[in-house]
Structure 1
Amino acid sequence: MRIPGKEFLKVKSKALSITYLVIPLIVLLVVLPYSSIQTFASPEEEWTICGVPRGDVLIVQTEAGRVVDPTDMNFWKPANPTAGASGVTLAIDELWKVNCTVPGGRVEGWLAEGPPEYSDDYSIMRVKLRKGIYWSDGVEFTADDVVFTIKLHLEDTRLSWSGLVRKFIEDAYAEDKYTVVIKLKTPSPKVHLFFSGILAWGTLHIMPKHIFEKVEDPLKFKFFPPVGTGAYVLKDYDPNGYWWLWERREDWERSVIGVVFGKKPAPKYVLRIYYPTYEKRAMALARHELDFGELPLEMVDQIRTGVFPYAKTWYDGFPYVWFPTGDAGPCFNCMKYPYNITDVRWALTLAVNIVEAYTVALHGMVHLAPIYGAAATPFLEPIYAPKLLPWLKNFTLPGDPTYKPFDPTIPEKFAEWAKAQGYTLAGTPQELFGIGWWKYDPKEAEKLLKKHGFYRDEAGKWRLPNGELWTIRVMYPSGWHIVWTRIGMAVIDQWKKFGIEVVGESVDSPIYWSRASTGDFDVYIMVPFGGVIRDLWRIWYNWHKMFVKPIGEVAAANHIRWANDRFSELLDELAKIPPDDPRVIDYGVELCKEIIKDMPHMAWSFDGKLIFYDTYVWEGWPTAKNPNGFPNYWAPHSWEYYTIWRLKNTGRAPSTEYGKPPKPPTPAIPKEVTAAIKTIGETVATIQTDVATIKEKVSDLSGKVDALSGQMGMLTAAAAIEGIVIIILAAVLVMAIRRRS
C-alpha cells in the first residue's frame, strides 16, 4: 500500500486542513444526539453493558486491535495478540511488581512475600511466597507452581521466556510449600527482575501447574478459560474478537490483590473492548460507556472546552497528554543493506525536521527522547539527564568527527509553537518536551550518504551505489496504534522531501508482530528502548546480541537485529551488579552512549497519548497532580496494581452493589455546538445532489448492521445505524470542503 507523503503531512496542505476540520465536526455529530439525552435508559429500562448494570462495570479500551482467535489466552506463547488484547493479566500474575511511583522504581512483593534472598555469591535465589492465595478454580497457589513454570521453560525452548530462563537458571526446587530455591548458572543479583511486572513490559507470569502438567503441547494449548491468581475471571467474550468481560471472583479475598491490599476492587466487572474507529470511541465516551481509553489528539479542544464534561486528561494544560515509558520511532533492520551502515542511519536521522513532523503529526504533544528510555521518562530524567547532557552537547558523529548533531533548543521551539496556538503550558519547555533532539541538516545527511556512494539522479531522487532507485519500506500499524501510525506517515513525508522513494505499509496487529520477529521490514515503528527503573538491564537486555537471528527466523527479542559488541558486554557486566548499587547508573549512561553512536533506532519521542478518564461512573484516577499510578490502559497488569483498587463508584449509574441513582438531569446543548450544527446543516443543504450519489450505498451498509452489532456485541442496532449516518455525513463534509477548495 503506497502512502501519500508530503501531500498528506505538509503543514498547510489541504488534506491536513480537512483532517483537522472534519474530525471535530464528526465529533460534534457524534456527541450532539447524546448531549441532550445522555443515552440513559428510560425509567422502564435498565442501563446495561453486556448484560450487566452499567454501574458495576469498568470499561477499558484495548489497543491491540481485533484478534482472530479470542479464546487463545496462552500468555507464554510467543507473539500471541490475544494475550495483550484480552486483559488476561487481570487473571494471571507475577512474583513481584515494580512500583514506579517511587523515584527510580522499587521492587515489591506480589505473589512473593517480599524481596528475593540471594546467597552471598549470588549463585542461589530463594523466594518466599505469600500464603493464602488460591487459583480461581480453588486450588492453592504454592511453590510447586513456580518450580513447574521454571522447569517447563528450561525444557521447552519454544516458550516466550525460555531463552532468558535457560541462560540464567540451572534448576529450581521447592524447599517447602511456600519457599522456592532457584540455582543460577552464573552469579547474578537481578534475575528476579525477569519475574517482575514493570508497567507495560512483559514478565514471566506463573503458570498453574495443575493445568499445564496435563497438557501435551504447551504451545498448542489455548489456556481457555484462563485460571489465575488474580481478582478476576472471564465471564463472557465476543467470538469476533472485539471484547472480553471479566468478573470479580466471589472469593476475591483469596486472590493476590485481596491478600496484598485486603481491599475488594470496586468494579464488579471489567470490560476490555476494542473500538475500531475513533468515532465509536467518542460515541461511547459521550454515552459514558467508555471509562478509560485514548482519543485522537485533534479532540483535545473538545475535551478542554467541556464537550465531554466528565472527561479528564493527565495534564490540565498543554500538552494534556500522558507520555508513556516507551521511546517510539523508526527502527532500522540492522541486518539489511543499507540500514546495516551507521552513517546511513544517521543520515536518515538528520533528514528529519522533528518540529515540523511533530507539530503536524502529533499536534506538538511530544516529549523528545534523544537518549532513549533512560533520560526521557519522568521517572529517570532527573537521574540520567544531568550526566548525559554535557556529553550530548559535545558528541560528534562516528562518520564525521567534526560534526555535532545535538540541538538543545528544540524544546523551546515546541513551546513557541504551542503558545502561538493559544495554549497554556503545564510546565517548562524542558519538563514538557524533553532536553532536545537532533538537528535538521539535509546537507550533512547528503554528505554522509555520498561518502558511501549514494547519489542523486537528474530528478533529485536518491540512488543506491549500484544505480538502483533507493526505496525504503516503512511498516506501521493499520490504525490499531494511532500514534505509531502517525509517526510512520510523518517519517515517510520527511524522507520523501529529502528525495528518497518511500513506500508505506499499513499492517494489522498480528501480521505486524510476525513480520517484525522475522525481520521482514526495512524500517518499522516501535518502542524498543523504554525505561522506568534506574537499572536499565532488565528492559534493555532484550537488545543483547545473543537474541539476533538471521532474517526469516523468528527472534524472541531484538527484532531490529542489532549486534553491538560493546553494548552486549556492558549488559553482561551490569548483570553482575545488584540493582540498588549506584554503579548501575554509570552503566546506564554508557549504554545510552552506545545506542546514540550506532543509531539503530531513531527515538523520536515518548508517544504522547490523549488518555482520558470518564469520571461519570468511576473516580480516583491518577493524574499529573496525583501521580499515584499510570494510565497504561493497554497493560492491565500495571493499572490493576496501581489503580483498580483505588477507584470509587460515584453512584451515578445503576449498580447491584452501589444502588440505583435517580434519573439524571437533561443537560442543555451549548450554544457553540448549536451554531456548529447550523453551519453543518447549511453546508449539507447545498450539496444534496452529492447525497443522492451515495444514497445507493446506504442499503448496502444497512445490510451490514446485524454483522456490525454482532461484532461489537454491546452496541445496539440503533448505534450501528447512527454510525452509518455519521459515515455519510462525513463523506458529505469532505465533498463540501473539496468543492470550496
Structure 2
Amino acid sequence: TVPIRKGIKWSDGEDLTAKDVAFTFNMIMGNKNISQCDYYNSVFESVEATDDYTVTIKTKYSFPRLVQKFGVTIWGNDLRIVPEHIYSQYDDVTTFKDEKPVVAGPYTVKAYDELGQWILYERREDWQNSTSGVVSGKEPAAQYVWFRFLGDDSARQMAMVNNQVDVLCEVTPEMLTSMMDQNDKISAWYKDFPYATSDDPCSKGLSFSIGQGAPYDNKYFRWGIAAAMNYDEIMMNIFGGIGRTSPFPIITETSAFLKLYGDEIQNWLKDFEIPLDDGTTYKPWDPDYATRMAETLRGQGYDIPDDEATLTDMFGIGVWKYDPDAATELLKMAGLELKDGKWYFDGKEFTIALSYLADTEAQAGRGVQAAYDQLTKFGLNCTIESQSSSTWNTNGSTGNYQIAGYWPTGFITEDVYSQINGWDGDLIVPLGQNGSGQGTRWNNQEATDIIHKLAETDPSSPDAHKLALQFLEVAIEDLPFIGFQSGVKCVPTNSTYWTNYPTADNAYNGPWWWWSCFKYIVNELKPVE
C-alpha cells in the first residue's frame, strides 16, 4: 500500500490523486506499444486506487526495491505519472501528441517553436501546488525558463561569451577554457583543471550488438578488440587526458563506486586472466594508467597532484591492458583468420562498422573516432559513420549496429538493481524489435540469475552487495561493453544574471540540467542584485 502525497495539483487545477497513479501503471501494462510494458507485467500483478490518496500494488514476487526502481535514482525513472482525466480519452496513448501538456511540475509550456528550436516554460501561478513546491516549499525565482537550440559550437560559444545564455548543457574542455578566457563570469564544476566533473554515471565507450551474432556474440572477439587499443592514446584523443577512466561494462566508475566497490574489484582484477590457445595468458588489468597520465599532463605544464587518492579521483583505478599479441590470439580464438596482413571471418574479408551520434555527446563521438584509429592501426578493416538522433535511437533499441558509442551504463547507489535489471536475458526481444531490455542483447544466464536473485534481496543487505560484485565480475569476464571514461561533463554557467549554481564548492546538487532534478536546482538559483 502506497500513500500519495496530498496537495499536488495538475497545472489545470485538477488534484493529482491515486487514480492518476493507478491509471498510469495500468496504461503501461495494457499497451504493448509502450516499451516498458513487458517489464511492468513481469513485476506487477495488479495496481488499483483504493481511495483518493492510496494505491494498492500487488507484485508477482517479493520486490523490496519498489521505490528505487520506480522512483528517481539517476537521471529519471521508469514511471512518469500522467493525468488520467486527459490520457483516458485516447484508446492508444502512443498516438497522442501532447502539445499542451498538463503537468505536475512548477513550470508549464508557454510557447514553443514548431521546428524544435526552442521551448519557453512559464512558472505556474500556483507553483506551491506543484511537485517541487509541495516538497520543498520554495518558489523558483525565474518566472521563465527558455530552452534553446543555439546552433553549432561556434554559435554556442558566442552566445555564452556575450551573456545571451546562462547555462550550456555541455561543451568540450577546449571550448570551455576558450570561453573562460573571454568572460570571467563563465565557470564550470571546478574553477581550474580538470574543470569538469567525472561523476556523470553514464560512462562512454564501445557497445557491441551481440544480437548480430558471430563474431560479436563471442567474448574472445570482444576481448580481442579491448586488447587491440591503447587507452592512453584514446584518452588523450577524447578530452586531452581529462576524465576518470571507467573500463567496466554496465557499471560506471563514479566516485561512489570507488568508495563502495573499488577495493574489492581491484583485488579481483589483479588475479583475473584469460587463457589463450597458444598456451599463454592475457592478464588484462592495467592499474598504472593514472600515474602515466599524470606524468603526461605534467609534461604539458599542468599542475597535477601526486597523492594516490587525488590521482585515482582524477584518472581512475586502471584500464584494460594494451597487448597487440594477445589481441591477435583472442581474435583467432573467436574464429577470425589473419592472412597476408588482412583479417577474415567465414572466408570473407572482415569489416567492422563503427557508429556514433552526430553533433552532440562529443565525449562519446570522440571515443568512437579514437577507437577507429586504434583498430585500423592494429590492422582491422573498419568503417565509421555519424548518425542523426532519430536513426541512432532506433538502431540502438533494435540492435541495428555492430559496434557503436552507446552508453548503457551507470552507478549511483550501492544497490545496483535499477542499473542492471534491464540486462535480464528474459527481456530480450528478437533483433529488429523494441523491447523492455537492452539493445545490446547480451544473453548471459549467470547474469540473469543474479538479477532475479537480487530483485528479491533486501537492497541494504550484505547479500545485495555480494550479488552486485558477482554481477560485475560476470560482466567483466564476458565484456558486452568496453568502457573508456565515466561521463565527463564540462557544463559552463554564466553568473552575469544568475548565481548559486551547483559547483564543487557548492555541491547541493550536480550540474545535471538535463535530468529530472533540474526542477529542484532551479529553486536554488538567485538573481544578481
1:630 aligns with 2:505: no
- Distance (whole Å) between structure 2 residues aligned to residue 399 and residue 624 of structure 1: 45
1:587 to 452, 457, 467: 467
- Distance (whole Å) between structure 2 residues aligned to residue 276 and residue 462 of structure 1: 41
Match of 1:692 in 2: none
Question: For 1:90-139, what per-residue CA distance to the aligned partner results, in whole angstroms no more than 9, with x for missing partners?
Answer: xxxxxxxxxxxxxxxxxxxxxxxxxxxxxxxxxxxx21111111000110
Matched letter for residue 166 of structure 2: D
Say if 1:369 and 1:603, in contact at 8 Å, map to a contact too. Answer: yes
Match of 2:497 in 1: 617
Say if 1:161 and 1:204, in contact at 8 Å, map to a contact too. Answer: no
Match of 1:446 in 2: 328
Match of 2:290 in 1: 411
Please list, as runs of the form range in 1=range in 2, the aligned pairs for 1:69-468 lying within 5 A after superposition.
126-293=1-168, 294-303=170-179, 306-323=181-198, 324-336=200-212, 337-372=214-249, 374=251, 376-397=253-274, 402-425=281-304, 428-458=310-340, 460-464=341-345, 466-468=346-348
Alignment TM-score, normalising by the size of structure 1: 0.68
Alpha-carbon offset, residue 373 of structure 1: 5.9
- Distance (whole Å) between structure 2 residues aligned to residue 286 and residue 186 of structure 1: 55
Question: For 1:651-710, what per-residue CA distance to the aligned partner results, in whole angstroms no more than 9, with x for missing partners?
Answer: 3xxxxxxxxxxxxxxxxxxxxxxxxxxxxxxxxxxxxxxxxxxxxxxxxxxxxxxxxxxx
Assess, with a 3 A threshold, how the Cα gap between structure 1 residues 410 and 151 changes in structure 2: closer, same or farther: same
Assess, with a 3 A threshold, how the Cα gap between structure 1 residues 399 and 646 changes in structure 2: closer, same or farther: farther
Question: For 1:267-299, what per-residue CA distance to the aligned partner results, in whole angstroms no more than 9, with x for missing partners?
Answer: 111112223311111011012122222222223
Alpha-carbon offset, residue 399 of structure 1: 5.2
> Please, what is the CA RMSD of the aligned residues?
1.7
Alpha-carbon offset, residue 301 of structure 1: 3.3
Please list, as runs of the form range in 1=range in 2, the aligned pairs for 1:477-496 lying within 5 A after superposition.
477-496=357-376
Q: Which secondary structure does the structure 2 equivalent of 1:562 belong to?
A: coil
Say if 2:218 and 2:334, in contact at 8 Å, map to a contact too. Answer: no
Say if 2:10 and 2:83, in contact at 8 Å, map to a contact too. Answer: yes
Alpha-carbon offset, residue 157 of structure 1: 2.0
- Distance (whole Å) between structure 1 residues aligned to residue 328 and residue 255 of structure 2: 35
- Distance (whole Å) between structure 1 residues aligned to residue 335 and residue 252 of structure 2: 35
Flag structure 1 segments of 5+ consecutive residues without an equivalent.
Answer: 1-125, 652-741
1:602 aligns with 2:482: yes
Assess, with a 3 A threshold, how the Cα gap between structure 1 residues 207 and 186 changes in structure 2: closer, same or farther: same
Say if 2:203 and 2:252, in contact at 8 Å, map to a contact too. Answer: no
- Distance (whole Å) between structure 1 residues aligned to residue 234 and residue 453 of structure 2: 39
- Distance (whole Å) between structure 1 residues aligned to residue 150 and residue 189 of structure 2: 21
Q: Which secondary structure does the structure 2 equivalent of 1:463 belong to?
A: strand
Matched letter for residue 527 of structure 2: N
- Distance (whole Å) between structure 1 residues aligned to residue 304 and residue 185 of structure 2: 22
Say if 1:517 and 1:556, in contact at 8 Å, map to a contact too. Answer: no
Say if 1:196 and 1:204, in contact at 8 Å, map to a contact too. Answer: yes
Q: Which secondary structure does the structure 1 equivalent of 2:281 belong to?
A: coil
1:519 aligns with 2:399: yes
- Distance (whole Å) between structure 1 residues aligned to residue 275 and residue 72 of structure 2: 37
Say if 1:134 and 1:255, in contact at 8 Å, map to a contact too. Answer: yes
Alpha-carbon offset, residue 453 of structure 1: 4.0
Match of 1:646 in 2: 524
Identity over the aligned pairs, expressed in percent? 32
Runs of 4+ residues deviating >3 angstroms: 371-375, 398-401
Say if 1:266 and 1:649, in contact at 8 Å, map to a contact too. Answer: yes
Assess, with a 3 A threshold, how the Cα gap between structure 1 residues 275 and 316 changes in structure 2: closer, same or farther: same
Say if 1:331 and 1:524, in contact at 8 Å, map to a contact too. Answer: yes
Matched letter for residue 523 of structure 2: W
- Distance (whole Å) between structure 2 residues aligned to residue 202 and residue 278 of structure 1: 30
1:578 aligns with 2:490: no
State how many pairs are aligned. Answer: 521
Alpha-carbon offset, residue 242 of structure 1: 1.7
- Distance (whole Å) between structure 2 residues aligned to residue 424 and residue 625 of structure 1: 20
